[in-house]
């Protein structure tokens, strides 16, 4: 009888954990991707400061954090993560290999585009601003980035044009 009760309890726990609500799965996903998001914002801040060595270090951290995402914690967001992981990895890998700030800024364009796609689906837990600089990458319509601050601090020009840009979208990730 004890074995039967134990089997029933184990079965019920398996069913409950398998059928957890989307909010619980999103919460797990949020936790799973926190290191990736934090490394992105550290990298962005290093670009604002035009510090090539700090960008290189932050890109190394981002690269490691991308590789370290626990796949079993992604829940419903596993597919979107798998679609973007290699793109994020590509940019982080190219940025970690040099301290050339111009090179970093070129790869930051696609890194930011892909992080935006990810963050629209997998929440960060804080309000995030999708910002745009019309001057950098002008022939292709400018360049975007994500920021935790509404005030513009342009990672593409640093001190040269620190406040060039505008908020394009607010992502309420709370």
Q: What is the number of structural domains in the chain?
A: 1
Global pTM reads 0.83
User: What is the domain range of residue 34?
Assistant: 22-172
Q: Phi and psi (nearest 5°) for 47?
A: -65, -40
In a domain, 118, yes or no: yes
pLDDT in tens, 110-161: 999 999 999 998 888 899 999 999 999 988 999 999 999 999 999 999 999 9
79 domain residue, yes or no: yes
Alpha-carbon gap, residue 26 to 22, rounded angstroms: 6
65-93 pLDDT tens trace: 999 999 888 888 889 999 999 999 999 99
In a domain, 3, yes or no: no
């Amino acid at each position: 009888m004890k074995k039967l009760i134990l089997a029933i309890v184990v079965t019920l726990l398996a069913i409950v954990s398998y059928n957890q609500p989307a909010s619980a799965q999103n919460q797990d996903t949020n936790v799973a991707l926190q290191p990736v998001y934090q490394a992105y914002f550290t990298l962005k801040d290093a670009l604002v400061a035009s510090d090539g060595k700090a960008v290189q270090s932050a890109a190394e951290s981002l690269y490691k954090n991308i590789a370290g995402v626990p796949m079993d914690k992604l829940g419903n967001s596993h597919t979107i993560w798998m679609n973007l992981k290699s793109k994020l990895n590509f940019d982080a890998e190219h940025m970690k290999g040099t301290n050339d700030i111009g090179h970093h800024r070129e790869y930051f364009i696609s890194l930011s585009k892909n992080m935006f796609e990810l963050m629209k689906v997998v929440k960060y837990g804080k309000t995030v601003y999708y910002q745009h600089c019309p001057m950098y990458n002008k022939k292709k319509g400018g360049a975007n980035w994500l920021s935790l601050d509404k005030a513009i601090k342009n990672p593409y020009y640093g001190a040269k044009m620190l406040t060039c840009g505008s908020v394009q979208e607010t992502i309420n990730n709370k």
